Amino acid sequence: MSAKAVREYHGKKLLAKFLRQEGGHDVEDRAAIITNTTNYAELEKTEPWLVSDEVKLVVKPDQLIKRRGKAGLVGINLTFNEVKEWIAARMEKQIKVEHATGQLDHFIVEPFVKHDQEDEYYVCIQSEREGEEILFCNEGGVDVGDVDVKAQKTTVKINESASAQDLVDCNLFQGVPSERVVKVASFVETLLKVYRKLNFTYMEINPIVVVGDRVTPLDLAAKIDETATFLNASDWGYLEFPAPFGRKEFPEEAHIRELDSKTGASLKLTILNQAGRVWTMVAGGGASVVYADTISDLGYGHELANYGEYSGAPSTEHTFEYAKTLIGLMTKTRDPRGKVFIIGGGIANFTDVAATFTGLIKALEMYQDDLKSNNVSIWVRRAGPNYQEGLKLMRETAMTTGLPIRIYGPETHITAVVPLALGLSKASEYPEFDDEEGHRLKRERRNKALGRTDSMIFREEQSKVPFAAQDPAPEDHAVENFSASTRCVVYGLQNRAVQGMLDFDFMCKREKPSVAAMIFPFSSNHYIKFYWGTNEILMPVYQEMKECFERHPDASVVVNFASMRSVYTSVVETLEFSDQIKTIAIIAEGVPESQTRALNMKANEKGVGIIGPATVGGIKPGCFRIGNTGGMLDNIVHSKLYRPGSVAYVSKSGGMSNELNNIICQNSDGVYEGVAIGGDRYPGSRFIDHLLRYNDNPHTRILVLLGEVGGIDEYEICEAVKSGRISKPLIAWCIGTCASIFPFEVQFGHAGALARGNMETALAKNAALKAAGALVPGNFIEFGDKIKETYDKLVASGRLVKAPEPETPKIPMDYTWAKRLGLVRKPANFISSISDDRGDELQYAGTPISEVFEKGMGVGGVLSLLWFRRELPSYATKFIEMILMVSADHGPAVSGAHNTIVCARAGKDLVSSLVSGLLTIGPRFGGALDDAALMFTEASDAGVDAAKFVKDMRKSNRLIMGIGHRIKSLSNPDKRVEIIKNYALENFQDNTVLKFALAVEQITTKKKANLILNVDGCIAACFVDMMRSCGAFSTDEANELVKNGCLNGLFVLGRSIGFIGHVLDQKRLKQGLYRHPWDDISYLNGVDM
């Protein structure tokens, strides 16, 4: 879910249309939007009511500005001329509204509704987890006051509707005159219908006014769920999501937004302070917030220049574009102190770090001079698939460019580079990724220092009761406790994720694979081959969900990889099998909020636990892994996820869950279980669901929570800690503390990471958690230290006994990945030198496909690249196209066309019919080009006289290929030959072979008139001359191409055009099965022969 604010103009237009459509309410729909490009004369023609003497007007900025009335930004009871003057005095003027400063450039003009104060009311609808909350106050306008206190409230559940009478019965309209109650109630009833139909997430109208029989919204603030575009685009029409007031969108931001729309990855960029000296380029939604938090928490928030992220495995080219844009912005302005560029990120699940770094390095190299002149220091911290290669590439870049780049891997805390970059920590205390000795010494120093720390204070009741003695609560948790026997079904053909789950299972020494089967509704039942260790196994794939679950009754979990468009229907269908399926993980991002909440409600009714949407999943070391959780196998080993530890965590961020695996492993005996509930505002399962499950499990010793800005779920945890329901040590931190320093609203990487009030800020949550008794560090850098302090305390008290460390398991590595890492090599089964589809753009013989079109190479140019691996001159490519044109067809009577037609009339498909015709091509039909070229070329090169050549051929009883035609002669020439011959004589630098062939024609036609140079012979001779004289081939290369059959290839390619035409023609004419007539066959018996 991503709630985006809309302009008042668009919101009111939608309300006017759909309030009338859904409830018959006649709502004022006259409104005009005015910008600095508005042509007033044209506007007056399209909106004549603006200049009517009977209509007075209201004008105000339409730029998401709150409390415009109090700010003096509303003009009322004006004529249109007065409106224009009012706008002219403010258009593109800089103003300050509360904490935000910006330019006014959009204004809404509407009819003025004359009314009294008592005609004004306040109404607000906002989405909550269980339904829509409606607030109504019998007072409205700028002085309405604290509506949370004054307004009447009611909540309409997701699966319920509310009639006007229902709203009246719940006393929502207290203080409204009785004669108006029915009308107002009907309006609010319809407003709720429209709110839900159009996927609004928030709507405040202050005031609505009731004058006579009409209810009119005067001021509107609304947000719409942008992810519902695929559901509501036709209803919304044109809908603009403007930037918050106080920040005009930079062209670079628009460029990144456009890039983001063209890729399945996520690319986000918000400029906070263009003159700032601290710039970040962070991979991952959660990680991007953590880096911004740390910069802010360390007192450098005012220096932070940007917020953004790149995640979801962007391509090398997209990463290059993102980095280039960012570095270009950073180096536009100078700072005498120099600048800091932090390239950070968590431990990726599936993004190839080396591939993205290749794009980043390309940008660094492009801007290396600007980076040096701006005195930019670069700090890199990254991990994930192929990170070693990525960091090595970055090291090489530092050496070749001379750029000051410090490079760190997963051994270094995710945000440790921030104080290093800001000069708050000593670089000597943080060894870089390739300093093994430095890392060893650091571990020794840290363990020694932390071993003396004894500052943890536990609640008295916690210290008295050893965990092993606690009685676990009843098994009433929605999400099941995964075990080594848990089996699942994967919905969708996610082969890579399935193989990763099977590799994890094998590493954990499970008896059976955790994946029992797959479901793919778009193909019939089949099997897919996977590896179980080094052995191959077949995984069944079912088209029907019912059949899958019937055949695999031991599966209790579904890992759903359906897209955001289809995930709702697939999960609803899965819930029909709630007797068997107890947990569903929804991986898809971008699921509309309304669908998510509906799924949550249905799952709750069925007693099924939901993890997600927008999640990577979860992991229980030694037992069960959902999808790509935990990343590549090397990270599984690095974080010791192949065996259980004592710490259980829950977070929203999938990327940060990998980082938690790493942090917990470095500071304790490891992870017992971890779940990423997903970044949306209303995840299926909440923090409290998992923390209670962990708390009730006797095998967990420490609980970890990584919350974030937005929502109020963390307050349930506060109450659980206070009441003692959560009795185990809880280390908690909410990311998003940087939000308070921003002068405008910023949507963080997760759709739900946006505070709707002070209670939802990260600062408020952290304070509440600390007050409740949770262990809250001072900032995220100290998060790992807090875990280690807690763990060491438990070990020292004897309440936690560390289990012996098992042998690190070995798992076979996939060949493709091992090759990418440079660990193995083998000869390729195929070699191809003409095309390459592996990069961002298809290439023909090294030429990008875009360049093919930019140069207008045409079919001849493409053929020259793919057949000859070089670009030929334009006259040569035109000649190739001429050959294809003249050889495309020669009527239906020739053998190839005849076969094609007979086959097509027999009901065969196009390809079969085409092949039937092509198989007739040979020495007697169309296949003479190669032989003709060889004969004419060898004789011409040998200097043989044409007459002698003909005489020698006759003596050896050989036909001269390319000579002879059934009906054409010198007096009745073949037009095709004339076209080819004349073009060659006019455009080729040399025509030696053609002239020899024409000399041969002069000899042969003296014997018989139709022994002319035919089209095959003419094409063959001219083509040899073209290759030899165009400068692209040596004589040997040209001869080899002829011997390899390229000339016959031209005939096959050209004639395929005609054969396909004959197939389509016969199909179009509905011709039936062909049977040859008896009277055209000579039937011979043995006597006749």
Q: Which residues are catalytic?
A: 750
552 φ, ψ to 5°? -130, 70
Would the CA dihedral through 1004, 1008, 1010, 1016 be positive or negative? negative
- Nearest-angstrom CA–CA distance, 426 and 441: 15
Query: How large is the C-alpha radius of gyration of the chain?
Result: 38
Quote the Cα angle for 94-95-99, to 5°: 125
Burial (Cβ within 10 Å: 0-12, 13-18, ≥19) of residue 126 = middle
From 957, 958, 955, 965, select the one nearest 935 (Cα to Cα).
Answer: 958
Sequence-ordered alpha helix ranges (H) in 374-435:
387-401, 417-421
One-letter amino acid at 452 equals R
Contact (Cβ atoms closer than 8 angstroms) between residue 774 and residue 717 = yes
Distance from the Cα of residue 319 to its chain's centroid: 13
Measured CA angle at 776 (ends 306, 800), to 5 deg = 130
Tell me the two tokens of residue 1025: 């001359």
Q: Give Dmax over CA atoms of the chain in angstroms.
A: 120
Residue 1036 DSSP one-character state: H
- The CA distance from 375 to 934, in Å, is 67
Strand ordering across the sheet containing 555-560: 526-532, 535-542, 515-519, 487-491, 555-560, 583-586, 609-611
497 neighbors 511 (Cβ within 8 angstroms): no
Residue with tokens 């049977």: 1075
**DSSP string for 895-913:** HHHHHHHHHHHTT--HHHH
State how far the Cα of 362 lies from the Cα of 355, in Å rounded to an integer: 11
How many whole angstroms separate alpha carbon 908 and alpha carbon 338?
73
429: helix, strand or coil: helix
Q: Give the Å distances, CA to CA, from 671 to 377, 641, 715.
A: 36, 7, 25
Structural tokens at position 535? 């052995």
- Residue 523 CB neighbour total at 10 angstroms: 10
Q: Report d(CA 299, CA 306) in Å as an integer.
A: 16
Determine contact, residues 419/782, Cβ cutoff 8 Å. Answer: no
Q: Please give the full DSSP string across 179-242, using - where no structure is assigned.
A: HHHHHHHHHHHHHHHHHHHTTEEEEEEEEEEEETTEEEE-SEEEEEEGGGHHHHHHHH-S---P
Q: What is the rounded CA–CA span in Å between residue 608 and residue 514?
A: 19
Residues in CB range of 440: below 8 A, 6 or more apart: none
Per the rule left: phi > 0, alpha: psi between -120 and 50, beta: everything else, 1070 is left
Identity (one letter) of the amino acid at 1016?
A: D
Contacts of 58 (CB under 8 A, 6+ apart): 74, 75, 76, 77, 78, 109, 110, 111, 112, 113, 218
Q: Which helix (H) or strand (E) holds 619?
A: strand 617-620
Of the CA atoms within 13 Å of residue 472, those in its CB half-sphere come to: 14
Q: Quick one: angle between helices 895-905 and 910-918, nearest 10? A: 150
